[in-house]
A and B are shown apart, each in its own frame.
Chain A
């Protein structure tokens, strides 16, 4: 067990390192620099700026310096938002994205799991068909469409909800709903098929034969086993929600980390691009590691290798 965890964590660290190096070199492949866009900069001033941020040194030296600083947890200063360190920006913006993503995960699990189980329980009946139709449609709608359509109906037409920002709790409804639509549908489908597998198992027949009610058999005996694929899906789900929220943040003008990342790329704010990529990547990798380890705890049949 310990060996497995160590191995898994080590692997995560390697991946994070690969991501960091990849991002660094890819980013520097782009011609042009962060200070070219500003017109009123003389060559001397530009050279001075580049010297200040160490951009005049050879690429490999820059890389070593950056990686060294990164090990100390220092991600440098933002080039465009003067006076802010990348760490500051992440500290301010990440909670917004995380709250949004976290709520969406909760919504997806709380709706997806029961919907899938109910569909499996009523297999072939009308309830099952309705759930199948909706979950199939749900995975065919990209989040930017669901959010714009929601916005059109709920704020433009009915004027029920505010369309922009995250100022009060009500304004969370639309972004979270838009973000959760895909994973809810996906989890419902996953849950339905794994529940159907489990319902066919011998121990379910035994439970029924002992006189356990169908409801209890499904939600107590079967659910525990059927939920395993959903647990594995949580890792990739978190990843997709953290990145899927880029669009949601753009549409609803939410000041989150995704927004920062997307706008940092065209402006060549190198440290901010590096910082946000590495931070999000590490977060996603960490979540995957935790899910993998949790999976092994939940299902003792899984042999850890």
Chain B
């Protein structure tokens, strides 16, 4: 088309006025779909092979721990007379008789414990207990920590100073000492409280588990509060906060609608990484015998009980140990992946 013409010529190129073909139209109309915060994050997350694997593992464990026990032929507290201390895949004499009579007997994949309870289901339910503690504790920490941190960060000044000094003190308190103490102390008041109508759910969960939640809620929110406060201090300088203020939004609304929603990435990541550390502490407490109550198993108490029979039944230790390891590892990797995806600034 670049044939040299007289620059003053009014003659136009006819080709320029041909209607656009469908192809051409399409290339103009469909710009790239807009990539929002979530979409961008998930795209980055999907590309991260390690994090995706960890995610799949977490899902598998959740299915194993929460859904499989419902359909499992044995119950975790069911004691089978005559089937005590079976090795993996072994059958008791009674069960062999039944099998010879033509009945089908579900195998004990990991054997049974000293009370004749199927060990596989105990490990699975133990994983459920540990995960429940980890997840509920992390949600409690998320709620308390983010509200506290947001209030301190938003109001600043004296409020912030006093609130953060309290956090500093709580932060330096040696947590494990207080946790062990509280776990002991809270047991009795909670047992009494569970008899009061309306608090029956405490018995359902077990007073020890509730006291563990309380302990986590009381002590572990400080890290979360610090992180959220830091984020809010930056976010509150934004114009949209000024605009919201000018429009007469209340402080509560600004914190809830504008500030917390804008640090959602950090919140998700910190909560995910909190789960393994809560599970860590729970298994530690259960191992010391301060965790959930028998006959309810937890991975820590299973490992602790297995210690006595280490010489003869090492697999009784390996099973819960492996479970703890896989749970903590996959949650850690998942959290790291989420951080890389949703919170690039926090990347270390």
Chain B residues in contact with chain A, CB under 8 A?
Answer: 168-169, 172-178, 180-182, 184-185, 188-189, 276, 280, 283-284, 287-288, 300, 303-304, 307, 310-311, 314, 317, 321, 324-325, 328-329, 332-333, 348
30 contacts between A and B (CB under 8 A): A11-B169, A29-B185, A31-B188, A32-B188, A136-B329, A137-B329, A140-B329, A141-B325, A144-B283, A144-B284, A145-B324, A148-B321, A152-B314, A156-B314, A193-B348, A239-B174, A243-B176, A243-B177, A246-B176, A246-B180, A247-B284, A250-B288, A261-B177, A262-B288, A265-B184, A277-B174, A280-B177, A281-B174, A281-B177, A288-B172
Neighbouring A residues of B181 by C-beta, 8 Å? 23, 26-27, 265, 273, 277
Smallest CB separation, B236 vs chain A (Å) = 22
Return the 4 tightest CB-CB contacts between A and B, nearest first: A140-B329, A243-B176, A140-B328, A193-B348
A145 to B304, CA, bound (A): 9
A149 within 8 A of B: yes
Per the 8 Å Cβ criterion, residues 10-41 of A in contact with B are 11-12, 14-15, 18-19, 22-23, 26-27, 29-32
Neighbouring B residues of A239 by C-beta, 8 Å? 174
Smallest CB separation, A286 vs chain B (Å) = 10
A288 to B329, CA, bound (A): 29
Neighbouring B residues of A250 by C-beta, 8 Å? 288
Neighbouring B residues of A251 by C-beta, 8 Å? 307
Given A144-B287, A145-B325, 19 new contacts (CB under 8 A): A12-B172, A15-B168, A15-B173, A29-B185, A30-B185, A30-B188, A140-B329, A140-B332, A151-B310, A152-B317, A240-B176, A242-B174, A243-B177, A246-B288, A262-B180, A265-B181, A266-B184, A277-B174, A281-B173
A89 to B325, CA, bound (A): 36
A142 within 8 A of B: yes
Contact of B307 among A26, A148, A262 (CB under 8 A): A148
Neighbouring B residues of A266 by C-beta, 8 Å? 184
A284 within 8 A of B: yes
A14 to B171, CA, bound (A): 13
Smallest CB separation, A143 vs chain B (Å) = 8
Binary B-proximity of A148-164 (CB < 8 A = 1, otherwise 0):
11011000100000000
CB contact under 8 A between A18 and B177, given known A136-B332, A142-B283, A148-B317? no
**Most chain B beta carbons < 10 A, residue from A18, A144, A277:** A144
Smallest CB separation, B123 vs chain A (Å) = 14
Smallest CB separation, A206 vs chain B (Å) = 25
B185 touches A27 (CB 8 A): yes
Q: Which residue of A lies closest to B189 (CB)?
A: A29
B169 touches A14 (CB 8 A): yes
Neighbouring B residues of A284 by C-beta, 8 Å? 172, 174
A243 touches B303 (CB 8 A): no
A139 within 8 A of B: yes
A198 within 8 A of B: no
Neighbouring A residues of B189 by C-beta, 8 Å? 29
Smallest CB separation, A260 vs chain B (Å) = 12
Smallest CB separation, B90 vs chain A (Å) = 21
A273 to B182, CA, bound (A): 12
Neighbouring B residues of A141 by C-beta, 8 Å? 325, 328
Q: State the interface size on chain A (CB cutoff 8 A).
A: 48
Neighbouring B residues of A11 by C-beta, 8 Å? 168-169
Binary B-proximity of A273-289 (CB < 8 A = 1, otherwise 0):
10001001100110010
A169 to B55, CA, bound (A): 44
A247 to B284, CA, bound (A): 8
A15 touches B184 (CB 8 A): no
A265 to B178, CA, bound (A): 11
A246 to B317, CA, bound (A): 20
Neighbouring A residues of B321 by C-beta, 8 Å? 145, 148-149
Neighbouring B residues of A137 by C-beta, 8 Å? 325, 329
Neighbouring A residues of B176 by C-beta, 8 Å? 240, 243-244, 246
A246 to B348, CA, bound (A): 31
Q: Which residue of B lies closest to A12 (CB)?
A: B172
Q: Which residue of A lies closest to B317 (CB)?
A: A148
Per the 8 Å Cβ criterion, residues 214-265 of A in contact with B are 239-240, 242-244, 246-247, 250-251, 261-262, 265
A265 to B184, CA, bound (A): 8
A284 to B329, CA, bound (A): 28
A136 touches B284 (CB 8 A): no
Smallest CB separation, B224 vs chain A (Å) = 16
A139 touches B177 (CB 8 A): no
A140 to B175, CA, bound (A): 20
Neighbouring B residues of A244 by C-beta, 8 Å? 176
A90 to B176, CA, bound (A): 18
CB contact under 8 A between A265 and B180, given known A142-B283, A156-B311, A288-B172? yes
Neighbouring B residues of A19 by C-beta, 8 Å? 173-174, 178
CB contact under 8 A between A136 and B177, given known A11-B168, A31-B188, A152-B310? no
